[in-house]
Homo-oligomer: A and B are copies of this chain.
Amino acid sequence: METLKKRILTEGKVIGSNILKVDSFLNHQIDVSLLNDIGLEFAELFKNEKITKILTVEASGIAIACMTARHFGVPVIFAKKTDSANQDTEVYQSEVYSFTRQKSFKIRISKKYLTAADRVLILDDFLAAGKAVNGLIDIAGQAGAALVGVGIVIEKGFQPGGRNLRARGIRLESLAIVDGMEDGRVIFR
């Protein structure tokens, strides 16, 4: 997606060889106009898949999921990362390790909102090692839902998450794939 790649090149900040900061438009400040284009792109890519639910994980994935779900007319479900007094006790859950935060946490979705009748699209902002997406796939599997595919805004192609999903035969659509970051520069696939 060319408009996205242009934004990454002009506004993305490369830190070391692994961190790509895009918090001016994607995951702190959100350019809703760009997200609208992103939502349209995912809608076009998955239009024939009879999707019934879009799954993501809090927090940055929520914006992307909502701006995409509009075009399908389906609900978003976002997995919760934190314990809350208000949460259902009947949940599907999966353990996720975050390299950014250097700790494991559980993600949870209430059993009420995901069933074997669902056709699920998983969306997230970044795919690196793939831990969060794998947690969501695990949860969709626990519910017996059909996984239609995974849509990612920025895939770090030099980390194994994308490769592993493709090797499992899962349809993965990444709008931008970064194959390397050298001397502060982003190299797209």
Contacts and interface: CB of A to CB of B under 8 A. Distances in A.
Interface of A: 15, 19, 21, 23-25, 28-33, 35-36, 58-60, 62-63, 65-67, 69-70, 73-78, 80, 82-86, 88, 100-102, 109-110, 112-113
A101 B76 contact: no
Given A59-B62, A66-B66, A86 B23 contact: yes
A163 B71 CA distance: 38
Across the A-B interface, the 7 shortest Cβ-Cβ residue pairs = A58-B59, A30-B76, A59-B59, A32-B69, A29-B113, A62-B62, A63-B66
Q: How many copies does the complex hold?
A: 2
A66 B32 contact: yes
Nearest to A69: B32
B70 A36 contact: yes
B113 A85 contact: no
Given A83-B101, A110-B28, A59 B78 contact: yes
Contact of A110 (B23, B31, B86): B23
B75 A100 contact: no
Contacts of A24: 112-113
A169 to B, nearest CB: 28
B19 A70 contact: no
A78 to B, nearest CB: 7
B100 A30 contact: no
A86 B33 contact: no
Contacts of A58: 58-59
Given A32-B69, A32-B76, A60-B62, 13 more contacts: A23-B88, A24-B113, A25-B75, A28-B80, A28-B109, A29-B76, A29-B77, A29-B110, A30-B65, A32-B66, A32-B75, A35-B66, A82-B101
